[in-house]
Amino acid sequence: MPARKPETPTTKPMLGRMAAEQRRAKRLMAEGLVGQATITDVREIGGSSNRNPVVEFDLRVLLEGHEPYPVTHRHVVSRRVVGSFAPGAVVPVRVDPGNVAEVMIA
């Protein structure tokens, strides 16, 4: 078995954030309200994860029983598919029932 690289002061917070994001995604997929959103704007904001850009999306979210509302959402997107997230595209979302500003593109 290869030796495991030791955690450094810079990797430990990053790993904690990644684990927290995975827990959040799992929770929203299980408990989140199902909706859809229209992308109104997309921009790379700098930074990357494994050479995939961090992208900021302006979304107009539509949930049953709610008026459409705007949300800005950041997400790491595979460089291979980032071009398919263009203004006007409609994407499935999961929304935190306790905080409708917390949205995840599903």
Q: Is position 26 within any domain?
A: no
Q: Is position 92 within any domain?
A: yes
- Residue with more model confidence, 8 or 93: 93
Domain hosting residue 56, numbered range:
32-105
Give the CATH number of the domain where residue 60 resides: 2.40.50
Q: Is position 65 within any domain?
A: yes
Residue 16 confidence (pLDDT): 67
Q: Is position 98 within any domain?
A: yes
Q: Is position 19 within any domain?
A: no
Specify the pairing of strand 69-76 against strand 52-62. Answer: antiparallel
- Count of domains for the chain: 1
Q: What is the pTM of this model?
A: 0.75
Q: Is position 37 within any domain?
A: yes
Q: Is position 73 within any domain?
A: yes
Q: Is position 100 within any domain?
A: yes
Residue 8 confidence (pLDDT): 46
**pLDDT tens per residue, range 10-68:** 455 656 676 887 888 899 999 999 999 999 999 988 777 777 888 899 999 999 999 99
SS3 letters across 15-78: HHHHHHHHHHHHHHHHHCEEEEEEEEEEEEEEEEECCEEEEEEEEEEECCCCCCEEEEEEEECC
